[in-house]
Amino acid sequence: MIKVEGLTRTYGAYTAVDDVTFTCEPGRVTGFLGPNGAGKSTTMRIIVGLTPPTSGRATIKGVDYHDLPNPGRMVGVLLDASAQHGGRTGREILTLGALTMGLPMSRVDEMLRLVSLSPSEAKRRVKNYSLGMKQRLGIAHALLGDPEILILDEPANGLDPAGIRWMRGLLKSYADRGGTVLLSSHLLHEVELIADEMILIGRGKILAQGDRAALLAHNTAAVETLATSLDNDALAAALTAKGIGVVPAGEGLRITAEAVEVGRTALEHQIVLTDLRSGDGGLEELFLQLTADTQREGVVA
């Protein structure tokens, strides 16, 4: 379990992390989501003791990271896959990790197999690795000590679609076996699929947190449904009569109501629906809304 309480880190007048509080529970994947420079990496560095906090506290199972006797056996950390000596081979990097943690050398081969790095790739120097390979090596390094907590900063960065899918399965089964996972990303779709719990952060502050349902409840105004029917005009008229907002959208209609309400209306007026789904704006809308004032691009229309 990771517990972060009132964490703040300032650099002169700039506040990188501003009074951040959250908990990562065992058996769950917690997604740390925010635009670039929101304070995700700084928070993670503070948790593993690489950056001293200005105030507040972060603990691992109630203990300060500095007081963990052999932290690699408890917490698997991947903060930057490129932060490795380019002159070492992938195998050498894992060997050094295994030596430090006091693990048998067989563990190195196990991890290489787990992340699908072939023996010939493992013999290559890391400076010749692609970002995706570095990322796989980093994940292998994080899992080396068979930790019960994983802290991964943008682990999907550089992985190909198959790799991202593989990692999703890996983290899911890890959490299902009781592991705690904290992973960050600036891509909603990446996190949405794996995270049980999401923490939205922007400009160092937590904007919202909770599971998918809780986050969406946060955002009732944005409930939208997309519907297409054989008679869109009649459907639009019927919905408007009920006081529901309707706008044409492409082939169909964008309706400000739950899907169930649209379906019921269609049934009442015997209109055949050909497509009915909730507007996928949901979380993305919320994410953009919450981070709108922290986005570099300004408001995304």
- What are the residues binding another protein (CB under 8 A)? 26-27, 41, 45, 48-52, 65-66, 68-74, 77, 79-80, 82-88, 92, 96-97, 99-102, 110-111, 113-114, 116, 141, 143, 146-148, 166, 169-170, 173-174, 177-179
Shortest separation between residue 220's beta carbon and another protein, angstroms: 37
Sheet with 197-202, edge to edge strand ranges:
75-78, 149-153, 180-185, 29-33, 197-202, 205-210
Q: Are strands 29-33 and 273-278 parallel, antiparallel or unpaired?
A: unpaired
Shortest separation between residue 93's beta carbon and another protein, angstroms: 8
Distance CA 112, CA 121 (A): 10
Decide whether 80 or 211 has the Cβ nearer to another protein: 80
Identity of the amino acid at 31 = G
Decide whether 26 or 210 has the Cβ nearer to another protein: 26
Decide whether 6 or 178 has the Cβ nearer to another protein: 178
Decide whether 106 or 220 has the Cβ nearer to another protein: 106
249 to each of 228, 236, 243, 292, 298, how far by Cα in Å? 9, 12, 18, 24, 24
Q: Which of 181, 120, 111, 118 has the alpha carbon at shortest distance from 149?
A: 181
Shortest separation between residue 198's beta carbon and another protein, angstroms: 22
Distance CA 102, CA 66 (A): 18
Shortest separation between residue 102's beta carbon and another protein, angstroms: 6
Decide whether 140 or 253 has the Cβ nearer to another protein: 140
Do the Cβ atoms of 98 and 38 come closer than 8 Å?
no
Shortest separation between residue 51's beta carbon and another protein, angstroms: 5
